[in-house]
Structure 1
Amino acid sequence: MENRAIMQPANPVLPETGFAVERLLPPQQAVVAFFSRVTIAPLKTERVSLDDASGRVLAEGVVADVDYPREPRSLMDGFALQARATPGEFAIIDDVHMGRAPRIHVTSRTASRIPTGGLLPDGADAVVPRENVSVDGDTLTVRAEVAAGESVAEAGADMRRGETVLRAPRRIRAAEIGVLATLGVTSVCVYRRPVVAVFSSGDELVDPAARPLPGEIRDSNRYAIAASLGAMGTIPRHYPTLRDEAPEFESALEAALAECDALVITGGSSVGERDRLPGAVAKIANPGIVVHGLRVKPGKPTLFGAHGGKPILGLPGNPTSALLMLEAVASPIVAALGGAPISSSLLQARLAEPARSRAGWTWYAPVRLTDDGGVPWAHPLALRSFSVSLTARADGYVIMNELDEEWPAGTPVTVHRFLGG
């Protein structure tokens, strides 16, 4: 049925959705179209301690106020000496101790024992490792020439005073926390975490704590989407379910726009008679709908809109489609809210079984990973957009673009891990 519709000559319409095929945008073009019309509202900043900085987005660059290392340090356990005096014999005159400044001056015929990380004593410009020398009592014999600076971390080799070590915006990870602590920075200026309203839409939805009656289902989307948004660095805020016939459908969205930085709604985003989201967004928002309908499987009825610089994301009601569209397509919009890109974990693998797609469409195929002798294999899972468990069974997804129709088994693929996994 879909194929016959696509072959129609003028403005074909997918019968099951009412979407005109030629008006559907590929996912990346849809994101570009969104940003061409919408400027995300500027974010406020706040100062947080290092303990609270992980995962936040740096709003101001960090400049080193000292060199690091501050003084030359040894990179090896060995002996500090003057390189120009090698090879030769040296009198061992002292030991360098961690946490203390050396007390001696090394000459052309003397050396000092030194641990990894120890400060070079005055006069020394190289360190020779223990395994490259022989020691007889207090006499050190070096048989090979040593170059100046060998096994030494010079002052400022890692960070120089006045250097912008961390540029904004960037997401603060454990590595950045370590840099900040090294520089004596105990609090940082970060962007405020955006608050995102999360709605589900549909008369059939009941709370997870309820026992569903015939025709009802527990609302899984709102919780899954909130968890994904939290992994993206936002603060998800749950709102009551939007009922198809409720008179307060539009007013609920308006209230959330007044309280939050963005809206994410699952369900009701298609073009059916009971799909109220497109009409509501067109009525209450400015510029309103920017993109409606993507040339993608699953997730065709995805909607991008905005009001006053606040994104409105309408996701399909099917659980697999909703989560894939949020993480695989809409994440750059969420990232713009937070001020920095959202990095996903990628893994190179090989396709364990053949995979087929539809020419001209982008396909997001969930896969399960196995390991065979250190080689990761990606097993495509049957795409059932209604499934709640599919994305939980999957380790990630692969993307088949518009030009791909079939991938044979063994094809190298990039697996995109789900956020928070």
Structure 2
Amino acid sequence: MSGREFFTALPVSEALAGFRPGRRTGTERVDRADALGRVPASPVTSRAALPGFTRSTVDGYAVRAADTHGASEALPAYFDVAGSVRMGAPAGVAVGHGTAVAVPTGAALPEGADAVLMVEHTQQTMPGMIEASRPVAVGDGTVRADEDVAADDELAPAGRPLRAQDLGLLAAAGTGVVEVRAKPRVGIISTGDEVVPPETEQLLAGQVRDATTSALAGLVVDAGGTPCPRGIVPDDAGVLTRTLDKAVQECDVVVVSAGSSVGARDETVAAVEALGEPGVFCHGLAIKPGKPTLLAQAGEVPIIGLPGNPLSALVVFRLVGVPIVRRVGGVTMPPAEPSTTAELARRVASAAGRLDVVQVRVQDGRAVPLFGASALLSLLTTADGYVVIDESATGLDEGQHVTVTLYR
């Protein structure tokens, strides 16, 4: 690992590409009903074909397609109705030359049939006989026995969190239990003599309630992890080192909020280095807000040191911490973030070589930038999403169309 010089700001893209801890959670088996958002440890395959039988996709009549050749309203084709098929039961009747069998949508296709005439294109001429006003081709109005899924096909890939539609396919295939990665345990440590529990009713001058832990816990859950708050640590090197050491032993990822900025009381770097190799990967990211960010490892356990200001901490954790948590939890195909395109309501300046994250409100197709100090958590609660200004840009112009990543 490189980049150990204090505050040599590393581009975010380089940090994500280079900081790739080998830690992975173990596996466990969960019921399908509890598998939403869980990450399959290996591809989930189907034991049999789906739907498993050739069936009708329309209400109509099962026929031989060749018997409808040339049929039209002026010269219809005639069929004797040989019977009907009930839903949820074998056909029990066959289709021969010049005969048809009534079938509802989803019913099994009778033997001998290779297409289904839509009922709208037929007319009963007399009891037991219909006429067809249009021809059909082989396969029309049907689904093959293996058209949805063939036997041994992949139902869900490894590394992609299971979605609602994935659970539906698993249910259709009769898969009741899935082997998934265990949720990463993410230790969250708040530091600072000024930080007090959120339950503190009366603040003394200089005190602040710990807002960051609760917000980080929410992001950890969104990332598929389990938040494990480790409490508030005072500005004491020994206490911080012991707390970090215990967290590393018990957690898959450790996050430290505050204590990673330049200052006389900054103890985080020394405490992390005391944990052993490989140590600090970088201290400083080329991002605003969030420059004083620390990335490190103790053994295989990644450690993320975040700025003390809540807005900065949450912006950085969303962009850098969430991918790390997902990676540790076995995610190789992260879900796409919801986004929209909007017209920028005013010009936003930026410095080349730095990734700028701008909070915005989206109103009537326009992205309105929100500005304020990085200590103002209300900027995030007011924002609908954020716009990223690339390192190579020096700003965005008013009226420019931008991609807004939306908060869920």
TM bin, normalised by shorter chain, reads over 0.9
The two structures, once aligned, show a CA RMSD in angstroms of 1.7
- AA paired with 2:64? Q
Give 4+ residue runs of structure 1 displaced > 3 Å after superposition: none
1:32 aligned residue? 17
Distance 1:107 1:408, change over 3 A: same
Correspondence for 1:282 among 273, 281, 287:
273
2:214 corresponds to 1:232: no
Contact 1:296 1:363 in 2 (8 A): yes
Correspondence for 2:359 among 338, 361, 366:
366
The structure with higher relative contact order (CA 8 Å, sep 6+) is 2
CA distance in structure 2 between the partners assigned to 1:278 and 1:104 by the alignment: 78
2:388 corresponds to 1:391: no
Unaligned runs of 5+ in 1: 1-17
CA distance in structure 2 between the partners assigned to 1:213 and 1:136 by the alignment: 91
2:48 corresponds to 1:57: no
User: Deviations 1:78-97 (Å, cap 9, x if unpaired)?
Assistant: 21111000021112232222
* Greater CA drift, 341-350 or 361-370: 341-350
1:196 aligned residue? 186
- What is the 5 A alignment of 1:67-82? 67-82=49-64
User: Deviations 1:184-233 (Å, cap 9, x if unpaired)?
Assistant: 11111111111110011111111111121111111100110011101111
User: Deviations 1:272-311 (Å, cap 9, x if unpaired)?
Assistant: 1111111111222321110110111000001100111100
User: Deviations 1:100-139 (Å, cap 9, x if unpaired)?
Assistant: 1112111121112211111111111101212222233432
TM-score, with structure 2 as normaliser: 0.92
Contact 1:344 1:416 in 2 (8 A): no
Correspondence for 1:176 among 153, 156, 166:
166
2:69 corresponds to 1:84: no
- AA paired with 1:343? P
Shift of residue 345, structure 1, vs aligned partner:
2.2
Partner SS, residue 90 of structure 1: strand
Shift of residue 271, structure 1, vs aligned partner:
2.3
Contact 1:24 1:294 in 2 (8 A): yes
CA distance in structure 1 between the partners assigned to 2:372 and 2:119 by the alignment: 61
Report how many residues are paired: 393
- AA paired with 2:256? I
2:395 corresponds to 1:406: yes
Unaligned runs of 5+ in 2: 72-76
Shift of residue 319, structure 1, vs aligned partner:
1.0
Shift of residue 402, structure 1, vs aligned partner:
1.5
CA distance in structure 2 between the partners assigned to 1:397 and 1:389 by the alignment: 14
Partner SS, residue 28 of structure 1: helix
Contact 1:362 1:402 in 2 (8 A): yes
Shift of residue 383, structure 1, vs aligned partner:
4.1
- AA paired with 2:136? V
Shift of residue 344, structure 1, vs aligned partner:
4.1
Distance 1:390 1:19, change over 3 A: farther
Contact 1:366 1:381 in 2 (8 A): yes
Contact 2:47 2:173 in 1 (8 A): yes
Contact 2:161 2:335 in 1 (8 A): no
